[in-house]
C-alpha cells in the first residue's frame, strides 16, 4: 500500500512516499481503508525525534495520528463493527500510521463517524476532540459556571476545546491574534486576549482551569491566572511523574521527567494549584460521545486546508508554520 514514511528522524526532508505492507489484522482489530487523515503538531514532534525517549518507535514509521474511513475487514473477536461501516479514530499511540491507504485499529479505539460530517471533516476531529475531552471533562471535571482559559483558541485543540467548554456551561477566555478575535468569539469565547498586545496573566484572575497548548513562558505565567485549588493542564509542558508512572516508563525516564517538570510543579505548589501533563490516549467510547455532540449541532469541525495525499509533506510543512486556523486534512482516498 502507498504510505508516507520516515526512515530516520529529522526535518521535512525525511518524510517520503513509499510502499509498505498492508497491516496485519489481530483478532480485536478492524482494518480501515483510510479516506482522510489530519495533520497534528504531534506528527512534527515524532518526525523530529523529540519524543523518541517516550515513544521509541521502530523505523521505518508511517506518520499520521487520526483518520476517517471505511471498514474493510474485522478480526475474529470484533463485535461492534462490520465491513462498510464509516468510522473515525485516533489509533493507539504505539500503532499510528494514518498517512497510508489502510490501517489496523483496535476495536476499542474506533467509533462510527458523525453522521452529519463528510470524511474530510470527520478526520479532523479525533485527536483534538479526545484531547479537549480528556482535559476538560476527565481531568478538570469542568462544571457549569466555572471559568476556563484555553490558550491558542484558533488552533486545532483550541477551536474544539472552546466549543466543548461552552457546551459544559463554562465561562471561556482564550488567547489568539487580533485577526482571529471575531472568529473565536463565534466559536463561543467570552473573553479574547490578543497575545501580541496584552499579557493574559495581568487581565485574568481566579480561573478554575487553564488548558495550556503552548508550554514555556506561557505555561509558567498561567499559574497566576488560577484561583487556589485550580487546575493547570498542559499538552505542551514537561511530563510529570504521574504521566511517567502511567506510561510504564523506566526508572531513568521517570527520573528525567521528574527533573524536567520540577520547576512548574514547584511553582504550582507555591500558588496552591495543581499541575498535570496530558498525553491524550485513544478511546472509542469518548469518540462516540463526541460524535453525538457533533450530530446534535453543538460542536462543528474547523478545517483550514485540505491537501491531496501526494502533498502530505506540504501539509506537514504548512502545519509547522503555525498559521493554520483549526485543522489541516490530507485526502487519502477519493
Residues 101 and 121 in one domain: yes
Q: Tell me the pLDDT of the chain (334 aa) as tens digits.
A: 999 999 999 988 899 999 999 999 999 999 999 999 999 999 999 999 988 877 889 999 999 999 999 999 999 999 999 999 999 999 999 999 999 999 999 999 999 999 999 999 999 999 999 999 999 999 999 999 999 999 999 999 999 999 999 999 999 999 999 999 999 999 999 999 999 999 999 999 999 999 999 999 999 999 999 999 999 999 998 887 777 677 666 777 777 777 878 899 999 999 999 999 999 999 999 999 999 999 999 999 999 999 999 999 999 999 999 889 999 999 998 7
Residues 185 and 258 in one domain: yes
Q: How many domains is the chain partitioned into structurally?
A: 2
**242 in any annotated domain:** yes
Can you give the pLDDT at residue 242? 76
Domain that residue 325 falls in = 2-125+301-331
What DSSP designation does 250 have?
A: -
Residues 260 and 133 in one domain: yes
End-to-end CA distance of the chain: 15
240: nearest Cα among 291, 279, 191: 279
Residues 39 and 121 in one domain: yes
Q: Which residues of 42-66 are buried (b: 16+ CB within 10 A; e: fewer)?
A: bbbebbbeebeebbebeeebbbbbb
112: nearest Cα among 135, 82, 78: 82
Instruction: Say if CB 108 and CB 284 are below 8 A apart.
Output: yes
**255 in any annotated domain:** yes
| Rounded distance between C-alpha atoms, residue 288 and residue 291, angstroms | 5
Residues 319 and 308 in one domain: yes
- Global pTM reads 0.95
**290 in any annotated domain:** no
**292 in any annotated domain:** no
Residues 121 and 135 in one domain: no
Phi and psi at residue 217, to the nearest 5°: -65, -35
317: nearest Cα among 4, 90, 1: 4
Residues 165 and 235 in one domain: yes
Instruction: Provide the pairing of β-strand 207-212 with 171-176.
Output: unpaired
Can you give the pLDDT at residue 329? 98
Residues 161 and 120 in one domain: no
**146 in any annotated domain:** yes
Can you give the pLDDT at residue 323? 87
**Residue 109 burial (CB count, 10 A):** 22
Residues 88 and 114 in one domain: yes
- In the structure, how many helices (H) and strands (E) does the chain have? 12, 16
Residues 181 and 322 in one domain: no
Q: Where are the alpha helices (DSSP H) in the chain?
A: 41-48, 119-123, 126-133, 156-167, 181-187, 200-203, 216-222, 241-246, 251-260, 262-270, 284-295, 312-320
Can you give the pLDDT at residue 260? 79
Can you give the pLDDT at residue 250? 73
Q: What is the CATH number of the domain that holds 37?
A: 3.90.180.10
**282 in any annotated domain:** no
Residues 162 and 70 in one domain: no
**219 in any annotated domain:** yes
Residues 140 and 259 in one domain: yes
Amino acid at each position: 500500500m502507498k504510505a508516507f514514511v520516515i526512515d530516520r528522524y529529522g526535518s521535512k526532508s525525511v518524510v517520503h512516499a513509499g510502499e509498505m505492507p498492508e497491516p496485519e489484522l489481530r483478532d480485536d482489530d478492524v482494518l480501515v481503508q483510510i479516506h482522510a487523515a489530519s495533520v497534528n503538531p504531534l506528527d512534527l514532534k515524532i518526525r523530529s525525534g523529540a519524543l523518541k525517549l517516550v515513544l521509541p518507535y521502530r523505523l521505518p514509521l508511517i506518520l499520521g495520528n487520526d483518520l476517517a474511513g471505511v471498514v474493510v475487514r474485522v478480526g475474529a473477536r470484533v463485535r461492534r463493527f462490520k465491513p462498510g461501516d464509516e468510522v473515525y479514530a485516533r489509533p493507539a499511540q504505539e500503532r499510528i500510521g494514518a498517512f497510508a491507504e489502510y490501517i489496523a485499529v483496535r476495536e476499542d479505539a474506533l467509533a462510527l463517524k458523525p453522521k452529519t460530517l463528510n470524511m474530510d471533516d470527520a478526520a479532523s476531529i479525533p485527536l483534538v476532540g479526545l484531547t479537549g475531552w480528556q482535559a476538560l471533562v476527565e481531568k478538570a471535571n469542568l462544571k457549569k459556571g466555572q471559568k476556563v482559559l484555553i490558550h491558542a483558541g484558533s488552533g486545532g485543540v483550541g477551536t474544539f476545546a472552546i466549543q466543548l467548554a461552552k457546551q459544559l456551561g463554562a465561562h471561556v477566555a482564550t488567547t489568539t491574534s487580533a485577526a482571529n478575535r471575531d472568529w473565536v468569539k463565534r466559536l463561543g469565547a467570552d473573553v479574547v486576549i490578543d497575545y501580541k498586545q496584552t499579557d493574559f496573566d495581568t487581565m485574568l484572575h481566579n480561573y478554575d482551569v487553564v488548558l495550556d497548548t503552548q508550554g514555556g513562558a506561557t505555561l509558567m505565567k498561567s499559574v497566576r491566572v488560577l484561583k487556589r485549588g485550580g487546575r493547570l493542564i498542559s499538552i505542551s509542558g514537561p511530563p510529570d511523574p504521574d504521566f511517567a508512572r502511567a506510561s510504564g516508563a523506566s526508572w531513568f525516564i521517570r527520573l528525567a521527567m521528574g527533573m524536567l517538570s520540577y520547576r512548574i510543579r514547584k511553582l504550582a505548589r507555591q500558588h496552591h494549584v495543581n499541575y498535570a501533563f496530558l498525553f491524550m490516549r485513544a478511546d472509542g467510547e469518548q469518540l462516540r460521545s463526541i460524535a453525538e455532540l457533533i450530530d446534535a449541532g453543538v460542536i462543528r469541525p474547523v478545517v483550514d486546508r485540505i491537501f491531496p495525499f501526494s502533498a502530505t509533506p506540504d501539509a506537514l510543512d504548512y502545519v509547522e508554520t503555525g498559521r493554520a486556523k483549526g485543522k489541516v486534512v490530507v485526502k487519502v482516498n477519493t
